[in-house]
A and B are shown apart, each in its own frame.
Chain A
Amino acid sequence: GAVVSQHPSRVICKSGTSVKIECRSLDFQATTMFWYRQFPKQSLMLMATSNEGSKATYEQGVEKDKFLINHASLTLSTLTVTSAHPEDSSFYICSAAGQGARGSVFFGSGTQLSVL
């Protein structure tokens, strides 16, 4: 099956720093990628939809200047958490869909972000 690789799996950073998370589709062209956030013992909340070559579409309440999304190629989307604060600590997970994915969506393994 299709594989989506997400890195890093875990990151600890100091408050005020920026953190970049990568999401790669390894064996198909991901025309669309999605970014979700999950707080402990809660469900996944869609943050934004990323289309290759265009600006991301953010969900209501998600700050686009804080969560920068870049989808510069058909195999890579990045989420940068800028000026991270402890309340940004969460599990971030991406999913990808597109050509060769047979109409399905595939999830990365997630990134646990801890901001000190």
Chain B
Amino acid sequence: SQQGEEDPQALSIQEGENATMNCSYKTSINNLQWYRQNSGRGLVHLILIRSNEREKHSGRLRVTLDTSKKSSSLLITASRAADTASYFCATDSRGNNRLAFGKGNQVVVIP
């Protein structure tokens, strides 16, 4: 069943700006993952954060996790036109790779 929810769902920014998107979920998790999807294409795994972690970085990506609020955020710094895509969070409740995806955020980076 769907669990993750992102807010906002559509974001349009200028190249070089930062993009922040949020995800909330309802039940306990083992880990939370963020994925990128270009239109009509497969998923690209961005980052995984475990329930005992609060923040994680990967290149221009920064993910936070607040298990008390059951929420996560993804920050993309110094955005590029190539970052234009849909971004989804997905929760893994039991650590068995069975993922529940959120609604997704459409990010458009204007050159």
Contact = CB atoms under 8 A, between A and B. Distances in A.
Interface of A: 6, 32, 34, 36, 42-46, 49, 59-60, 91, 93, 95, 97, 104-110, 112
A93 B40 contact: no
A49 B100 CA distance: 12
A105 B99 contact: yes
A22 to B, nearest CB: 14
Interface of B: 1-2, 35, 40-43, 45, 48, 88, 90, 96-104
Contacts, number: 53
Nearest to A60: B1
Given A44-B88, A45-B2, A95 B99 contact: yes
B18 to A, nearest CB: 24
27 contacts: A6-B42, A32-B97, A34-B99, A42-B103, A42-B104, A43-B2, A43-B102, A43-B103, A44-B43, A44-B99, A45-B2, A45-B101, A46-B101, A59-B1, A60-B1, A91-B40, A95-B99, A104-B45, A104-B48, A104-B97, A105-B97, A107-B43, A108-B42, A109-B41, A109-B42, A110-B41, A112-B40
